[in-house]
Chains A and B, each alone.
Chain A
Amino acid sequence: MRTGTIRAWGWIHKWTSLVCTLFLLMLCLTGLPLIFHDEIDGALNPASWQPANPGAEHLTLDEILDTALDNRPGETPIFMSFDIDRPVVNVTSGPSADAPGSAMHFASYDLTSGDLVPPADAGESVMEFLLQLHTDMFLGLPGMLFLGAMGFLFVLSVVSGVVLYAPFMRKLDFGTIRTNQSTRLKWLDYHNFLGIVAVAWLLVVGLTGVINTLEEPIIDTWKAQELADLVAQNEGGETIVPRASLDAAVDEAIRAAPGMELQFVAFPGSDFSTSSHYAVFLHGRSPVTEHVIAPVLIHAATGEVAGLREMPWYAKALSLSRPLHFGDYGGLLLKLVWAVLDILTIFLLVSGVYLWLARGKRRMRVERQPLAVESGPA
């Protein structure tokens, strides 16, 4: 590689790294507890709740919805979701179907009695705070897009680091750590070694993080392109009041998508539906398809089935990006691997800043040595 080319890649590596470092540090620190979200929730909220009438016939979803709306007069249903391991239905409501998350109300109901299930939310406010900081820094879409840009710089930094690895290692064996020379060289070797062995994880987490920040534009594009015909049926734009049976809608959806399981229902006007349809979201049963969801749209006034709408590739990419970013799709072993890599990324960031700060000393000492490629990456 020519000296000019190395300098150009070095410039890219230095500035992409320096610009995003502070934000990446925040993302690593907030991401660490989020990896163990389920374990922390479980520890803080031991499972003590039991259904009121175990073995009794379950109430219908329409009855649960009526109860939920009686408890929240004047509110509109937004989402309904279902616990996997207990007979509990969760209803999210708000002043309008497109209410922001902060205005939404979440309540859980016992399917055997219709009673409210006590919220298992000890520690939830801390985790919500961390998630919001990690996702958009409390700035909404601009915050998400800004963090997406930082993620893109991080990916560029990793790619440029890989390119620079070659000239750095021309005369060194893989895994060489020069501990008997300057502190800076030792840190440089650790930085290079750690960076190159963690490239796969760094790129996967970085790229999926960037995709996740595009969640809102991706969903908007999906609605504008794939659901355009359904949106056009209700051009007035008014969100219609659901009248068709929710149970019948869910039954129709399951019939329309054999082999899939119910995940959640988005009500008319919510982010994940049109202003006139129930969107009944289903997911696959196999490990390959369980992260890919598909909605069956059912007109909320007439109960007419609009059919299963396969999510386009970009929406599927978003579905797969979420677990791949947070590392919560495997067992505890994978989470531990994720956590250690997260901590080592913090070391990578800190060592990069150190190498940049210590560059003056290095220039004085080794600038004229023949091994010119030992100039620091940051």
Chain B
Amino acid sequence: MRQARSGGRARRRVGAIFAIPLVLFLLGLTGLVGALLVDGPADVAFSLAAACGLVTFAVVRRPGRR
């Protein structure tokens, strides 16, 4: 991945910035719509997919650098 450097910190490209958010968006959307269209045990799987953003928020924390 090509990265520019400025002031000692790597500048990330738009694709890299949005890669994880895009996956979370698609997974979350699939969960929200899938739970509407499917009944039964799959409902639980879609509900968990809808919760992927929440899980990420709870689990992923990176300390900032000075």
Q: Are B54 and A197 in contact (CB under 8 A)?
A: yes
Contact residues in B for A232 (Cβ distance below 8 Å):
none
State A264–B12 Cα separation when bound (angstroms).
Answer: 56
In contact, B56 and A175 (Cβ under 8 angstroms) = yes
Q: How large is the interface on B (under 10, 10 to 19, 20 to 34, 35 or more residues)?
A: 35 or more
Determine the chain B residues whose CB is within 8 A of the CB of A204 once the complex forms: 29, 32
- A181-B66, A331-B44 as given contacts; A287 in contact with B39, CB under 8 Å: yes
> Once the chains bind, are A174 and B28 in contact (CB under 8 Å)?
no
How many angstroms between the C-alpha atoms of A173 and B17 in the bound complex?
8
Of A189, A197, A333, which one neighbours B64 at CB under 8 angstroms? A189
A198 / chain B contacts, CB cutoff of 8 Å: 28, 53-54, 57
In the complex, the answer to whether A337 meets B50 with C-beta atoms within 8 Å is yes
- Cα of A297 to Cα of B57 in the assembled complex, Å: 50
A89 contacts partner chain B, Cβ-Cβ < 8 Å:
no
Residues 188-222 of A, flagged 1 when their CB comes within 8 A of B and 0 if not, give 01000110111111001000000000000000000
Partner of A175 from the list B9, B12, B44, B60 (CB cut-off 8 Å) is B60
Pick from A170, A199, A340, A370: contact of B25, CB under 8 Å: A199
Q: List the B side residues contacting A194 at CB < 8 Å.
A: 57
Q: Does A103 contact B (CB under 8 A)?
A: no
B36 with A324: CB separation less than 8 A: yes
Taking a contact as CB atoms under 8 Å apart, the answer to whether B62 and A173 are in contact is yes
Query: How far, in angstroms, from A334 to B45 measured CA to CA in the complex?
Result: 10
In contact, B63 and A330 (Cβ under 8 angstroms): no
Task: Assess whether B64 is in contact with A180, with CB atoms less than 8 Å apart.
Answer: yes
A171 within 8 A of B: yes
A174-B20, A177-B63 given as contacts; is B14 within 8 A of A166 (CB)? yes
Which of A185, A291, A329, A371 has the most CB atoms of chain B within a 10 A radius of its CB? A329
Q: Are A171 and B10 in contact (CB under 8 A)?
A: yes
Expressed in whole angstroms, the Cα–Cα distance for A176 and B32 within the complex equals 27
Q: How distant is A268 from chain B, measured CB to nearest CB, in Å?
A: 33
A9: Cβ under 8 A from any B Cβ: no
Q: Are A197 and B21 in contact (CB under 8 A)?
A: yes
- 0/1 per residue, B38-54, Cβ < 8 Å to A? 11000110111011011
Given contacts A330-B46, A331-B44, contact A193 B64 (CB under 8 A): no
Complex Cα distance, B57 from A175, in Å, reads: 8
A233 at the interface (CB under 8 A from B): no
Residues of B close to A171: CB separation below 8 A:
6, 9-12
When each residue 313-351 of chain A gets 1 if its CB lies under 8 Å from chain B and 0 otherwise, what string results?
A: 000000010011000011101100100110010000000
From the candidates B14, B29, B39, B48, name the one contacting A200 in the complex (CB within 8 A): B29
Q: Which residue of A lies closest to B52 (CB)?
A: A197
A323-B36 in contact given A171-B11, A176-B64, A177-B61 (Cβ < 8 Å): yes
Residue B37 CB within 8 A of the other chain: yes
For B50, list chain A residues within 8 Å (CB). Answer: 200-201, 334, 337
Question: How far is B48's CA from A331's CA once the two chains are assembled, in angstroms?
Answer: 11
Q: Is A170 within 8 A of B11, CB to CB?
A: yes
Q: Is the CB of A344 within 8 A of B25?
A: no
Decide if A201 touches B53 in the complex (CB within 8 Å).
yes
* A372 to B: closest C-beta gap in Å: 11
Which residues on the B side are within 8 Å of A162 (C-beta)?
21
Cα distance A10–B33 in the bound complex, in angstroms: 31
Interface check A169, CB cutoff 8 A = yes
Q: Which of A173, A178, A179, A200 gathers most chain B CB within 10 Å? A: A200
Q: Could you pull out 15 A-B pairs where Cβ atoms are within 8 angstroms?
A: A165-B18, A170-B11, A170-B12, A174-B20, A177-B63, A189-B64, A196-B21, A198-B53, A200-B27, A200-B50, A333-B44, A334-B35, A341-B54, A344-B57, A370-B7
Query: Apart from A172-B64, A198-B57, A201-B50, what 8 extra A-B contacts exist at CB < 8 Å?
Result: A171-B6, A189-B64, A194-B57, A196-B21, A197-B21, A291-B36, A323-B36, A329-B36
B interface vs A, CB < 8 Å? 6-7, 9-12, 14, 17-18, 20-21, 24-29, 32-33, 35-39, 43-44, 46-48, 50-51, 53-54, 56-57, 60-66
- Which 7 residue pairs spanning A and B have beta carbons closest together? A178-B64, A200-B28, A197-B53, A175-B60, A334-B47, A330-B35, A171-B9
